[in-house]
Amino acid sequence: MTIGVTHFLVVGAVMFCCGLYTMSTKRNAIGILIGVELVLNSSALNLVAFDRYMGAGRLDGQIMALFIIVLAAAEAALAVGICINVYRNLATVDVDKATQLRG
């Protein structure tokens, strides 16, 4: 059995679903952040896989993946900063408590 693009996509989908699940079930802000990382990485995996099998010598997907990694790093730094501020203000990182902007 040859490893094809489908396998990569399945792994990416599983990772995406895990990330999504983590995001929607975790109440801890850091946990949600981890879920976000999983979703980002699954999409990065998809890009790399498509580039490998359908790019025909082009590096578009690879570069996009690099972008995503940088973006994730920046996002993580930002999100952790938000988390710290949330903790400072509310003395918790439980996102269910941070509902001051609800309609």
Partner 1 sequence: MGEHTYEILLAAAVASPLVSFWLLVFFGPRLGKPKAGWVGVLLGMGVPLIMGTIVMIGWWFFEDEASRAALTEHAFRWKWANLGAVAVDIGVKLDSLTVAMFFMVTFIAFWIFVFSVGYMKGHSDEVSGQCKYWRFFAYLSLFGFAMLGLVLSSNLLFLFIFWELVGLCSYLLIGFYFDKAFASKAAMKAFITNRVGDFGFLIGLMLVYFHLGTLDLDQAATRFAEQYASGTGIFASGFTMFGWSLATIMGVGLFCGAMGKSAQFPLHVWLPDAMAGPTPVSALIHAATMVAAGVYLVARVYRLMTPDALMFISTIGCLTLTLMALIAMVQVDIKKCLAYSTLSQLGYMIFGMGCGAWVAALFHLVTHAFFKAMLFLGSGQVIEGCHHEQDMRKMGGLRHKMPFTCWTFFVGVLAISGAGIPAMHIGLGGYFSKDEILAVAYTRSYVWGEGDFSKHEAHEGEHHSSTSTVHDVPVQLAAYQEHGEPEHADHGGAHESVDAHSSAPLALIFEHTKPLPKWMFWLAIITAYITPFYMMRCWWLTFMGKPRDEHVHEHAHETPMMFIPLVVLAIGTVFASYYLFRPLMADAAGAATAAPMVMAIDGDVHTPAITSAHSWLVYGVGFAFVAGFALAYLIYRDGLAVGDRIKQRLWPLHTLLVNKYYIDELYELVWVKGCVLLAKTAGFFDKWVVDLIFNLAAAITERLASFSGMIVDKHGVDGVVNGIAQTSMDVAGVASSAQTGRIRNYVLVTAAVAAVVLICLVWFGTNSGYSGARSFSALSP
Closer to partner 1 by CB, 55 or 66: give it: 55
Tokens representing 75 are 């996002």
For residue 28, the cross-strand partners are 94
Give residue 88's Cα distance to chain centre: 25
φ, ψ (nearest 5 deg) of residue 28: -80, 130
Closer to partner 1 by CB, 26 or 62: give it: 26
Interface with partner 1 includes 86 (CB under 8 A)? Answer: no
Instruction: Write down the least CB distance from residue 24 to partner 1, Å.
Output: 5
> Binding string to partner 1 for residues 38 to 77, with x set by CB under 8 A, is what?
---------------xx-----------------------
Distance CA 59, CA 53 (A): 11
Tokens representing 93 are 């990182």
Binding site for partner 1 (CB under 8 A): 4-5, 20, 23-25, 32, 53-54, 95-96, 98-103
